Amino acid sequence: MLELIVLASGSSGNAAIVRDAAAGRSLLVDCGICKREFFARCDDAGVDPLEIECVLVTHAHTDHTSGLGVVLRGLAKLGRTPALYAHPATRAASKPIAEVEQLVEQRDLAHGEPFEAAGIAVVPFPTSHDSEGSTCFRFEAGGDAIGYVTDTGIVTPEAHEALQRVRVLAIESNHDVKMLQEGPYPYPLKQRILGSGGHLSNAQCCEEVASLLHPGLQHVAAMHVSEHNNTFALPARELEETLAARGHGARVHVARPDRPIAIR
């Protein structure tokens, strides 16, 4: 089975590893944390970072890219130089990607065009986030599947299609609408978060999860939870209520910004 190890998730930094445990091959999704935290969290999660064969970048915002240079240089010193996949528009908008251009092989990805990376089939699909080329992924290997969608104001039709019949669903549950509306953020920022170019709310997350339920779904992970406009308990409770109301037994996880979680 595939494993999903979320090293960090939130506005302070994002990084996740998808691993084919049987083959001992991994890929990294985003790297918005420092080298020290990256290697420490890999160690905490029992993951060998030298298994990482490629890096997939979802979009150009720095909470997803700021650690690319230091982490890739750290891996290179250990003899591992993963290829980097990004949408051309993301690459054009990202200074951290430009800074590693000579360090690792750069490969383009295109929405709706599957490819293989680290022996894992990857299906990239568009999200609606306000960053050019914003992308998320479906991962498949050996009959197993992981759906990974975060940083999107709506679930695009392509995303909904790609997330069907996965065993593990990692989906954004960024904010509680009432907490955001009543909170300290400036009005334009609140509107951005609530808009189609922003982030999924707890309610939007639960609605999408309810539409994707099937007997083979074993794990649901709430991603990119806001530390200002949410609590870590809220998305867990609301997802558990959504599942219980439909008699579904999937396990709920909440990804954190400060420590890894491993879903196996």
**Among candidate residues 1, 129, 3, 116, the one with its CA nearest the CA of residue 56:** 116
> So what's the pLDDT on residue 102?
93
The answer to whether 34 touches 73, Cβ cutoff 8 Å, is: no
> So what's the pLDDT on residue 138?
98
CATH 3.60.15.10 fits 2-263, yes or no: yes
The answer to whether 26 touches 53, Cβ cutoff 8 Å, is: yes
Q: Average pLDDT of the chain?
A: 98
Distance CA 204, CA 149 (A): 13
Torsion sign, CA atoms 119, 121, 214, 248: positive
> So what's the pLDDT on residue 18?
98
State pLDDT tens for residues 49-73: 999 999 999 999 999 999 999 999 9
Burial of 246 (0-12, 13-18, 19+ CB in 10 A): exposed
Distance CA 240, CA 251 (A): 8
